[in-house]
Amino acid sequence: QKEVEQNSGPLSVPEGAIASLNCTYSDRGSQSFFWYRQYSGKSPELIMSIYSNGDKEDGRFTAQLNKASQYVSLLIRDSQPSDSATYLCAVRGGGYNKLIFGAGTRLAVHP
Amino acid sequence: DTAVSQTPKYLVTQMGNDKSIKCEQNLGHDTMYWYKQDSKKFLKIMFSYNNKELIINETVPNRFSPKSPDKAHLNLHINSLELGDSAVYFCASSQDNRDPPLFGPGTRLTVL
């Protein structure tokens, strides 16, 4: 079992819709959870951090965490073509607080 | 600009050569990292340093040797390059080993 799993996509949504990106993790002791966005040919960019169960909202982005189910998600409201990118879920925990990345979900927002 | 910078941006070399990638951060962060992103875009940690001390050393061939002369710099030297080393190498830093890392622009290494 991979430590952090994401559906590779592509996830295709129309402009203005809600994009829902999901991630599961295997280490029950994980404490910190992050979403990064990576445009093609660019470096990953942090867009959300979440540390406790529930929802955290920042603009059009909402991160959701359920530690009991070992599940973290990212919702993007009013999706724009500029949101088209690969979204990487990252989970920190275990020895030395190692940050483990999922393989990423490619999101395509079409006009 | 406050950032993580790395040089070179592109590196094309022959199998068997030795090459280095340099990384610097001017953010005053204590922790620095090297990540490798392969052709399938999977981002995997290679090394992590905290205040010049190696704290994470993943299962990486010993042809890869990181060096941290001070806490603002973390360089990566690769000996006897192989075709499978072709990837994008990202340097990153964070305030400490609990914060999320900020990534540099990446170095695309191509081994011919």
pLDDT < 50: residue spans in chain A: none
DSSP string, B45-93: EEEEEETTEEEEE-S--TTEEEEEEETTEEEEEE-S--GGG-EEEEEEE
Query: For testing the chain A interface, which of B34, B35, B41 should be mutated: the one with the most A CBs within 10 Å?
Result: B41
Spatial separation of the C-alpha atoms in residues A94 and B6, rounded to whole Å: 28
Q: Which residue has the higher pLDDT, B79 or B54?
A: B79
Q: pLDDT tens digits, residue range A80-104?
A: 999 999 999 999 976 677 889 999 9
Calculate what percentage of chain B has a pLDDT beyond 90.
80
A interface with B, Cβ–Cβ below 8 Å: 32, 34, 38, 42-46, 49, 86, 88, 90, 92, 96-101, 103-104
Whole-angstrom distance, CA of residue A47 vs CA of residue A87: 9
pLDDT at A95: 66
**Contact call for A49 and B100, based on CB within 8 A:** yes
Tokens at B82, concatenated: 């192989």
- Digit-coded pLDDT (tens) for B73-95: 999 999 999 999 999 999 999 99
| The token pair that represents A32 in the structure block | 């910190």
B92 neighbors B6 (Cβ within 8 angstroms): no
B7 interfaces chain A, CB cutoff of 8 Å: no
Strand (E) or helix (H) holding B19? strand B19-25
Burial track B9-48 (b if 16+ CB lie within 10 A, e otherwise): eebebeeeeebebbbbbeeebbbbbbbbbeeebebebbbb
- Tell me the residue type at B85: D
